[in-house]
Amino acid sequence: MPSASTIETLTQLSYLVAAALFIVGLKRMSSPVTAVSGVRWAGLGMVLATVVTLAFMGASSLNLMLVIGAIAVGGILAWVSGKRVAMTNMPQMIALYNGMGGGAAGAIAAVELYRGSEHSIVHLTIATIGGFIGSVSFSGSLIAFAKLQGLITKSVRFGGQKFVNLAILLVTVALGFMVVSGMELGAAQGGVPAVSLFFAFALLLGIAMTLPIGGADMPVVISLYNALTGLAVGFEGFVLDNAAMIIAGTVVGAAGTLLTQLMAKAMNRSLANVLFSNFGESSSAGGTGVTGSQKAIEASDAGVMMAYSQKIIIVPGYGMAVAQAQHKVWELAQLLIDHGVKVRFAIHPVAGRMPGHMNVLLAEAGVPYDLISDLDEINAEFETADVALIIGANDVVNPDARANRASPIFGMPILNADKAKNVIVIKRGQGQGFSGIDNALFVLDQTRMLYGDAQSAVGQLIQAVKAAG
């Protein structure tokens, strides 16, 4: 039987290897070419950390069986749901799973805080901070899931809402102080009601913060809660003296924070503006003074135009995801390439409902990575494109972001689709986009609207290109 010091050394070395695997995996996830292997490396690190923890946790056989049972149930549920979820529903799945991570961190904190006097003030303080962050991430992520899933269809806003949220925050902080200091709340068992109220108000804060945020801002919100979950896990790693949790949580928190900043920058908005403004709903954004009329085009005419083009840039958006049209879009692109047309895909950082949403959908359809470019790489090429094909995208191609200071998205970097010789926009109707902002691109002289569901419209384009060939 190894000595306690040997077991501790083996445990820490294993955690170090697991942390290295996490970092290698995260690094490889930064490129679509190596992303799949990155997920496997990080998964291997998680398996190693879990096995080592179970092997050396020193728990009773009953507790060990409960832990293994919980892992088995959770693993089976995750496997089944992961296999069944459609790629178009991936944003809400990520929001849900991210919330579970925050909830797990909050649960760890709750166990430690209910023990109370067994721990030092420093220990309780760290547990309280981690519990607060994890609880906010948990409830906020569930609201984000409900919004993306369509279970909550309207953002809840009322006068003085910011002050109500501030009051909830202050009450939560006060309760946290009481928990750490061991102050009683008029109860027989000191501190227990304070802990319960602390978590109740922390969960309420996550709900209150997320309910007013519009669906257009969900990519940033998901990224933010991902960062918060990582931070909460890191804090609880300190509480449990678990190096793997500390490192993994810190890495996830740092990566999520950087991604959140990049997403907010891509929208030319501060994080505070995302969290506390009313942008993101048609009721609040309104029109932006766009004048002119949209001009329709038949699929047969659009197909002929594309078949005889030399260069086409395709801009996918959430409309493509809703219609699950990514496979049809790639079929159209392949057909055009066979006709000698140069085809590229342009991806905006906030296209879709989560970071990388369009990249994931195109990868699922089998689009080669070298045909996909981000905003900085592709923008200069629009001027030489014969056709820019917009599929369900709105704000990310709205030229008002460059030219109209009255627009809510003024200053936001956009894809320069309006500089193409011809623009074809596939859109279900003449209404505003998801964010409720009129798009000046739709009324330009070189723009034509192909109305209809993206899958049906692209199918018609495929037939028209074939007929023109």
Counting Cβ atoms within 10 Å, is residue 103 exposed (0-12), middle (13-18) or buried (19+)? buried
> What's the CA gap between 372 and 231, in Å, rounded?
32
> What's the CA gap between 147 and 219, in Å, rounded?
12
Active site residue 395: yes
Residue 140, both tokens: 């906020």
DSSP secondary structure, 262-299, as one string: HHHHHTT--HHHHHHS-TTSHHHH------S---B--H
DSSP helix, strand, coil percent of the chain (3-state; round to 5): 65, 5, 25
In this structure, are strands 387-391 and 372-374 parallel, antiparallel, or unpaired?
A: unpaired
Q: What strands, in cross-sheet order, belong to the sheet with 372-374? A: 372-374, 342-347, 311-316, 387-391, 422-427, 447-451
> What's the CA gap between 424 and 418, in Å, rounded?
10
SS3 346: strand
Catalytic residue of the set 301, 374, 376, 395: 395
Counting Cβ atoms within 10 Å, is residue 77 exposed (0-12), middle (13-18) or buried (19+)? exposed
Counting Cβ atoms within 10 Å, is residue 5 exposed (0-12), middle (13-18) or buried (19+)? exposed
Answer for the pair 465, 332: CB distance below 8 angstroms, yes or no: yes
Neighbours of 187 (CB within 10 A): 11
In this structure, are strands 342-347 and 447-451 parallel, antiparallel, or unpaired?
A: unpaired
- Residue 41, amino acid: W
Residue 68, both tokens: 């293994």
Spell out the residues 6+ positions from residue 445 whose beta carbon is closer than 8 angstroms to its own: none
> What's the CA gap between 443 and 423, in Å, rounded?
10
Answer for the pair 197, 175: CB distance below 8 angstroms, yes or no: yes
Answer for the pair 325, 454: CB distance below 8 angstroms, yes or no: yes
Residue 126, both tokens: 């760290």
Question: Within its chain, how far is the Cα of 5 from the centroid?
Answer: 42
Residue 270, both tokens: 């501060």
Report phi then psi at 40, rounded to 5.
Answer: -70, -40
- Beta-bridge mates of residue 46: none
Residues marked active site are found at 395
